[in-house]
């Protein structure tokens, strides 16, 4: 199976690198700067699950793509989705499966409009990873799980073949019979975490210590109600674990969106908070925490872009 991994950053580089380590046919679609860095220093993974270095990993640039690829692994930032689609589109045929690992649901709508419903799988991952200044991939915890499945059926021969291809790499993989529900469950949790982290500019433990225990729980319930309105109510055990995680005293849990703001970078506010609010079936209450969090981060984005424009 020919696999094209979009980008070789923390996410694509980790999962693609582990697949290469397992002997799979993987190529990274990268920009010229990252291609030069990989050729000079190799693909380097530092991980509690074992380090791995591959000199001269296979890379390609968009104008060099030769179809077909059987599987496209897409793990870009949501605000880079349209550009990523244009870059890998030449690799897609009617036999190509596209497996996105973005959070939320909007990207599925975008991908299905461009490539058709049959081409797109549902997927998500749980991992904490980043790139250091040298371009090495740093895996920061013990979690490295990739879950995927068909969007409109429980199982298929295609999904089974992909599951076999992803198996036996140095990460955990699971073929799900309910991937859309699982994606909604994750979305409700990370939207609540992003909302409260960014509104309070603090970790969960700091919010709780300041007397704000009700805020993350209330925001989670608002997000979960939107999921339920769309036909995917989070399952009760997951709801209980989510609320417990969001209200844990002393917790260092914080959303990556908060780190993006603190680093003066772009955020996925539209994909994670804005799109969730727009999928609300009932009119929002006058005290919608989700809408307040969305406007808060959106105002940051407006200011960031205005200041960048002023700087030329």
Q: How many residues does the chain have?
A: 312
pLDDT, position 154: 77
Contacts of 248 (CB under 8 A, 6+ apart): 204, 205, 208
- From the list 18, 139, 186, 271, the catalytic residue is 186
Q: Is 74:6 a contact under the CB 8 Å cutoff?
A: yes
Question: Considering the entire predicted model, what is its pTM?
Answer: 0.94
Q: Please name the helix (run of DSSP H) or strand (run of DSSP E) that holds residue 26, with its range, or none.
A: strand 25-29
Residues 99, 102, 103, 106: what is their CA dihedral angle, to the nearest 10 degrees? -80
Structure tokens at 64: 């060099």
- Which pLDDT score, from 0 to 100, does residue 283 have? 78
For position 311, what pLDDT does the model report?
87
CATH topology of domain 2-177: Rossmann fold (3.40.50)
Q: What is the pLDDT of residues 26-48, one digit of tens each?
A: 999 999 999 999 999 999 999 99
pLDDT beyond 90 at 287: no
Reply yes or no on whether the pLDDT at 76 is more than 80.
yes
pLDDT digits 0-9 by tens, 103-114 = 999 999 999 999
The answer to whether the beta carbons of residues 170 and 49 sit under 8 Å apart is yes
What mean pLDDT is predicted for residues 169-174? 95
Unique residue bearing structure tokens 């030329």:
312
Q: Quote the tokens at residue 249.
A: 């005293």
Model confidence at 17, pLDDT cuts 50, 70, 90, reads very high
Catalytic residue status for 186: yes
Question: What does the H/E/C string look like for 79-147?
Answer: HHHHHHHHHHHHHCCCCCEEEECCCCCHHHHHHHHHHCHHHECEEEEEEEEEECCCCCEEEEEEEEEEE
The domain locations on the chain are 2-177, 181-310
How confident is the model over 203-222, as a mean pLDDT?
A: 96
Fold that domain 181-310 belongs to in CATH: 1.10.1040
Is the omega angle on the peptide bond into residue 68 within 30 degrees of 0, that is, cis? yes
Give the pLDDT of residue 162: 97
Q: Are 271 and 78 in contact (CB under 8 A)?
A: yes
């Amino acid at each position: 199976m020919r696999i094209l991994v979009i980008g070789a950053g923390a996410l694509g580089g980790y999962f693609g690198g582990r697949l290469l380590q397992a002997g799979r046919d993987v190529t990274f679609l990268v920009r010229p700067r990252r291609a030069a860095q990989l050729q000079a220093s190799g693909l380097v993974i530092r991980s509690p699950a074992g380090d791995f270095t591959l000199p001269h990993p296979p890379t390609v640039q968009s104008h060099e793509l030769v179809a077909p690829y059987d599987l496209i692994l897409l793990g870009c930032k949501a605000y880079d989705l349209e550009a990523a689609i244009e870059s890998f589109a030449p690799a897609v045929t009617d036999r190509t499966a596209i497996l996105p690992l973005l959070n939320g649901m909007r990207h599925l709508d975008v991908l299905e409009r461009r490539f058709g419903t049959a081409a797109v799988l549902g997927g998500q991952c749980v991992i904490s990873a980043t790139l250091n200044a040298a371009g090495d991939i740093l895996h920061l915890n013990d979690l490295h799980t990739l879950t995927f499945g068909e969007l409109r059926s429980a199982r298929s021969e295609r999904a089974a073949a992909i599951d076999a291809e992803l198996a036996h790499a140095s990460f955990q993989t699971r073929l799900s019979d309910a991937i859309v529900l699982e994606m909604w469950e994750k979305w409700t949790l990370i939207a609540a975490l992003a909302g409260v982290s960014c509104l309070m500019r603090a970790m969960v433990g700091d919010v709780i210590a300041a007397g704000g225990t009700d805020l993350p729980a209330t925001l989670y319930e608002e997000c979960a109600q939107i999921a339920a309105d769309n036909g995917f109510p989070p399952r009760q055990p997951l709801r209980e674990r989510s609320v417990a995680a969001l209200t844990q005293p002393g917790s260092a849990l914080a959303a990556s969106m908060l780190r993006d703001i603190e680093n003066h970078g772009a955020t996925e506010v539209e994909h994670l908070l804005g799109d969730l609010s727009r999928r609300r079936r009932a009119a929002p209450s006058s005290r919608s925490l989700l809408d307040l969090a969305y406007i808060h981060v959106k105002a940051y984005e407006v200011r960031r872009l205005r200041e960048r424009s002023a700087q030329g």
